[in-house]
Structure 1
Amino acid sequence: MASTEPPWHANYPSPRNTAASISRQEVLQWLQAGKLPGEDYILADLRRNDFEGGTIRGALNLPAQSLYPRIPTSYSLLKRAGVKHVIWYCGSCGGRGTRAAGWFVDYLKDQSDTTMKSLVLEGGIKGWARAGPEYTGFMDEYDASAWAQ
């Protein structure tokens, strides 16, 4: 039976802008080269109820459902930390990832910030976890059974 409740994002505006994407291969290359999240980029895992099976090493869990009102504070913290790339991902990056990244692009434009980028991880965590051992080797709390479905 379909829910009659509005989606979680119904109380927030639609993003005005679309974020660029980044390939999992590029992120993997950064990790393999020892460029860790927190140096000049962060990984933002947007999952809440479906946060299972592991996450990319070093990612912050910032559930999409509570993100929108926290964007100004998140931006301020990231700016002070010197972050240049914010890489957003959810399960497949078809909904929460693109929405969150778009909201962040909107905020960056509103601040006239051209030094920070908001990016969507292509394929999300599902794509990452199913891409093979070179990827899962860079996951914390990896559980193969969660990705076998």
Structure 2
Amino acid sequence: MTTENAPWYAAYPKPKNTSPDSISRSEVLDRLDRGEQPGRDFLLVDLRRNDHEGGTIRGSLNLPAQSLYHSLPTLYNLCDTGKIDIIIWYCGSSRGRGTRAAGWFDDMIKEKGHKSMKSVILLEGVSGWAAAGKEYSDMMDGYEKEVWEKM
């Protein structure tokens, strides 16, 4: 049971893996430029909820971190069945929600004994992506330049 002032994640177990692997935005952009498709070749998960404005990386699935934990087994089954072997998590910076979600999912992968599936965070999150220049912002759905300029 959590108190009214406790953070949302206090209601869930702490991930065993608190330092999941990461992937750079240039590596993700390279995948997209090679024609790889999110949802088929890899999965991009945007964990933002109330701060989900200014756009999202093209092909991302929005699964807010605050309601994610109980959906992880279903997401794992979908990725396993679809042979998606890398799941890339991000939030604004990928230092809080991104790290926690990637850790939870990595814990599940290890518990299931899956050898080829990876759970990683996008370094610097969507804020880093949006600030990295036109080649990145062109790969965003709903990109709003003025939102990112305020950050």
TM-score category of the 2 structures, normalised to the smaller one: over 0.9
Structure 1 residue 80 displacement after superposition? 0.7
Structure 1 residue 114 displacement after superposition? 1.2
SS in 2 for 1:38: coil
- Partners in 2 of 1:48 and 1:125 — Cα distance? 13
- Partners in 1 of 2:43 and 2:146 — Cα distance? 27
Which residue of 2 is the match for residue 98 of structure 1?
Answer: 99
- Partners in 1 of 2:97 and 2:131 — Cα distance? 19
Q: Which stretch of the first structure deviates more once superposed, 31-40 or 42-51? A: 31-40
Where does 1:124-139 land on structure 2 (aligned, <5 Å)? 124-139=125-140
Structure 1 residue 40 displacement after superposition? 2.0
Which residue of 2 is the match for residue 144 of structure 1?
Answer: 145
Unaligned runs of 5+ in 2: none
- Partners in 1 of 2:30 and 2:74 — Cα distance? 30
- Cα RMSD between the aligned structures? 0.8
Which residue of 2 is the match for residue 70 of structure 1?
Answer: 71
Structure 1 residue 78 displacement after superposition? 1.2
- Partners in 2 of 1:77 and 1:94 — Cα distance? 25
Where does 1:1-149 land on structure 2 (aligned, <5 Å)? 5-17=5-17, 18-149=19-150
- Partners in 2 of 1:20 and 1:35 — Cα distance? 20
Q: In percent, how many aligned pairs have the same letter? A: 55
- Partners in 2 of 1:114 and 1:146 — Cα distance? 40
- Partners in 2 of 1:146 and 1:98 — Cα distance? 24
- Partners in 2 of 1:65 and 1:78 — Cα distance? 21
TM-score (norm 1): 0.96
- Partners in 1 of 2:115 and 2:148 — Cα distance? 37
Question: Which string of whole-angstrom CA distances, capped at 9 and with x for unpartnered residues, describes residues 17-65 of structure 1?
Answer: 1310000000001111111112220100000000000000000001000
Question: In the alignment, residue 43 of structure 1 is paired with which amino acid?
Answer: L
- Partners in 2 of 1:57 and 1:34 — Cα distance? 13
Question: In the alignment, residue 105 of structure 1 is paired with which amino acid?
Answer: D
- Partners in 1 of 2:29 and 2:114 — Cα distance? 26
